[in-house]
Structure 1
Amino acid sequence: MTDPDPHLLVVDDDERIRGLLQKFLIRHGFIVSAARDAAHARRLLSGLEFDLIVLDVMMPGEDGVTLTQHLRETLTTPILLLTAKGETDDRIAGLEAGADDYLAKPFEPKELLLRINAILRRVPDAEAAPVSPKVLTLGPVRYDTQRGEVWQGDTQLRLTATEQKLMQIFSAQVGEPLARADLVERLGRDGGQAQERAVDVQITRLRRKIEADPKQPRYLQTVRGAGYMLAVDT
């Protein structure tokens, strides 16, 4: 039995761009729904499940970054932001809001396709379970490596697809420092300082979820000159 085609939601206030993206992505095997603004997107999200959201930042009314912040309160669906802004700080703001990646306009459609596929590959496969389950303990937080789930007591902590992928990467090499460039490559992104800074932002977000004091991390540590390392309780 083959897996169903991924269902994408494209949110852009520009009707021409919205239509072009929808046709392009459908041609490449995706099921695509489209929304003209944040309110329209909310209505679709209330009744449908999506595998990924392609979201324009510069929209009238509620912009893409604000919508991302609100969606992250209840959804873990991957989000790719489209932004016309070239400043790195503006893109970082989107990642801090909970986006998994960003793409600056104008862009080549092929690059959009590559980014979407890279994000979808980060989403853990629920059926691909290791032979033996293993739980890592990080103080009051537990990471189930079999299910890719993070728990604090009886509460499951919501992780974005990128955060889930980072936990998967770190848990496979507990106690070993991983360089930023290595993390960028494993996340399926192009190299460069901008992407390494983007990883820093994702690490900061992840620490807020698993650390008692994110400013003085005990478990997701910074190793000077080497990158980041996951430490666990024995």
Structure 2
Amino acid sequence: MRAGRMTPGQQRGLDDGWPRFGLELETGPVDPASLFGRVAPLTFEIGFGMGQSLLEMAGAAPDQDFIGVEVHRPGVGALLNGLLKQELDNVRVYSCDALDVLRQCIADSSLDRVLLYFPDPWHKSRHHKRRIVNENFAALVRQKLKPGGILHMATDWEPYAEHMLEVMQQAPGYTNLSASDSWVERPSERPVTKFERRGERLGHGVWDLKFARRD
């Protein structure tokens, strides 16, 4: 976990919530039916930040299950604290590299959705190689999605949106769900974050991309 200043609520979330909701990479493959005690649609969110969106989605969809991954310690604590306060039991959490979790812990063809909201765009050209969205990422996600499962990405950085679109248009085995073969309208199931509202006030755009795995 990355270091960071912790509020009392975030620390309480880690102390009390991790034993209940936390998952360890070293444990290996997970069985969602055993993990949640039922068979339900499963969403995997990469980099949930401070957890507000994941908390809202889980609260609005009690009939669905969610696995979230985040390396930022205060964000993990904030989400766990929220789960305890709202008495939600349809979320499990990793705090490590999300790609390692996908490779080592998630069965092939087991996910209904993969979410990647506002990843670091690595603005400078010399840092573009650090961007998570590339051909290897697209192939790994497709491997883990069920046929018809959806990869939903969102960014407020237009050059990165264009990069995502270019990568996904070239990735085999996907169908763009945009009627214009570009972006989709902001889906109602994606919560609007404080960060996004601030961006809208400043005139920043947000680009949503949805791609479905073909059989």
Q: Same fold (TM over 0.5)?
A: no
Give the TM-score taking structure 1 as reference length.
0.31
